[in-house]
Amino acid sequence: MTRFFFLLAALPCCAGWAAAHPAILPDTSAVVRPDTTASDRTVYLRVDEPPRFRGEGVLAFRDWVLRHLRFGAEMFREGVDARLVVSFVVGRQGAVEEPEVVSSTDERCAAEVLRVLASAPLWTPGRLEKVAVRTKLVMPVNIRLEVPTAADSLAAGLSDGIPLEEDVAGEMERMPLFQGGDLQSFRKWVMENLKYPREALEDEVEDDIVVTFIVEKDGTLSEIVVEQGRNLALIREVGRVLTLSPKWEPGRLANGEPVRVRYTLPLIFRLDRTRPAGQPVRPSVPGREVRVGVDDYSRF
C-alpha cells in the first residue's frame, strides 16, 4: 500500500550551517550596539533575545508553515523530495521581511514556501541590549510528497458510479450498495466520521477536496486518487475516514457477475462563521450534494 508522506523540518540557524557560510557571520571582535533610530535598517544575526513566534521559537513557526503549504494533486502523483534553505528577517515591529530562498532542489516548492512566508503573522522581535532590532533567521525546509492511495484520502458527496469497461461484458443489473443503502448512505457515513483537524480549526482553513475511487468486486475500496485538494491536514483526515470504510455490496451484471465501479467523491470543508462571539469555529456541512463531472476526475 502506497503511503502519503509530507515532511517539513525547520530549524534555526545552527553552528553547522554557519560553518558552511562563514562569510555572512558578523565580526564579533567589536562590541555591537543597536541603533535606536526608527530608520535603522541594520540586520543582526546574533541578538540577546531571539525573535519569538507566538511565544515560542522557530519550531512553532515551522508548524505554522506546515499547516499552510498547498500543493496540487499532480505533485503528489509525481512524487517530490525537495530540500530548501530559506532566510528571512524579523523586523523591529515583528513582521517577516525579505524572505529569500538560499537554495532549493524544486522551484515549485520554493515558490510555495515563499508564498506562505509572505503571509506570516507577526513575531515578537529580537532584542539587542533591550532594543528591538531586525534579526535574520535561516531555516532549512525538507518537503516530501508521495502519491496518496486508499490508506490516505477521502471526502463526501458522490457522483454516479461508472462501471469500468474492461469488466463490463453485459448490462448492469445493480450498482454497488453501502450497508444495504444507496450512495447517500455512504455519504452520510463519511460525514459522520469526519473530524475537522484541530490545526485547521485554529487557523480557520477551508478547502475543496475531490478524490476518485473504485468499489472492487469484493466490495473493498481501491485506487483512490486525490484529484483536488490543497490543505494537508484535511487531506490526511479524509484518508483516515477511508481506512475505516466497511465493505460495500459490489455492483453486478444481469448474469450476477460482480463488476468494478468507479466513483468521484467531492467534499467541501467549510466553517460555520455564524457562531456566537467567543465560541470556537466548527465545520459546516453543506446540505446539498455536490456533483463533479466524472470526465474531469477519472484520470489514473
User: Which CATH number do you get for residue 289?
Assistant: 3.30.2420.10
Whether the predicted pLDDT of 154 surpasses 70? no
What is the C-alpha separation between 140 and 83, in angstroms, rounded? 8
The answer to whether the CB of 76 falls within 8 A of the CB of 109 is no
Residue in 81, 195, 88 with CA at minimum distance from that of residue 136? 88
Residue 156 covered by a domain: no
What is the C-alpha separation between 112 and 73, in angstroms, rounded? 14
Tell which of 145, 178, 204 closes a domain.
Answer: 145
**256 & 131 share domain:** no
The answer to whether the CB of 42 falls within 8 A of the CB of 35 is yes
Whether the predicted pLDDT of 31 surpasses 50? no
Residue in 139, 132, 161, 128 with CA at minimum distance from that of residue 64? 139
**134 & 191 share domain:** no
pLDDT bracket for residue 14 (50, 70, 90): very low
**128 & 175 share domain:** no
What is the C-alpha separation between 274 and 271, in angstroms, rounded? 9
More confident residue, 261 or 161: 261
pLDDT bracket for residue 90 (50, 70, 90): very high
Tell which of 145, 177, 208 closes a domain.
Answer: 145
| Sequence-ordered list of residues with C-beta below 8 angstroms from that of 8, at least 6 positions apart, any chain | 62, 65, 66, 69, 141, 142, 143
**228 & 107 share domain:** no
The answer to whether the CB of 222 falls within 8 A of the CB of 148 is no
Residue 7 covered by a domain: no
**178 & 124 share domain:** no
Give Rg (Cα) of the chain: 25
User: Best-predicted range by mean pLDDT among 40-44, 210-214, 215-219?
Assistant: 215-219
Tell which of 94, 120, 145 closes a domain.
Answer: 145
**170 & 259 share domain:** yes
Strand pairing class (43-44; 131-145): parallel
What is the C-alpha separation between 264 and 297, in angstroms, rounded? 7
**171 & 134 share domain:** no
More confident residue, 151 or 225: 225
**85 & 211 share domain:** no
Residue 1 covered by a domain: no
Q: Which of 19-33, 190-204, 259-273 has the lowest mean pLDDT?
A: 19-33
Query: How many domains are there within the chain?
Result: 2
Question: What pLDDT score does 101 carry?
Answer: 93
Q: Is the Cα torsion angle 112, 116, 117, 118 positive or negative in sign?
A: positive
- Mean of pLDDT over the chain: 72
Residue 136 covered by a domain: yes
Question: What pLDDT score does 239 carry?
Answer: 75
**66 & 136 share domain:** yes
| Sequence-ordered list of residues with C-beta below 8 angstroms from that of 147, at least 6 positions apart, any chain | 2, 4, 76, 77, 79, 225
Cell of 218: 469484493
Stretch 196-218: mean pLDDT, rounded? 81
Question: What pLDDT score does 39 carry?
Answer: 60
Stretch 222-245: mean pLDDT, rounded? 78
**133 & 179 share domain:** no
Stretch 228-233: mean pLDDT, rounded? 78
**124 & 208 share domain:** no
Whether the predicted pLDDT of 122 surpasses 80? yes
Residue 152 covered by a domain: no
**129 & 231 share domain:** no
Cell of 2: 502506497
The answer to whether the CB of 88 falls within 8 A of the CB of 136 is yes
- Please give the model's pTM, rounded to 2 decimal places: 0.46
Residue in 80, 88, 75 with CA at minimum distance from that of residue 119? 88
Question: What pLDDT score does 124 carry?
Answer: 94
Cα-based distances in Å from 156 to 147, 189, 191, 211: 20, 9, 6, 9
Question: What pLDDT score does 240 carry?
Answer: 79
Residue 9 covered by a domain: no
What is the span of the domain harbouring residue 99? 15-145
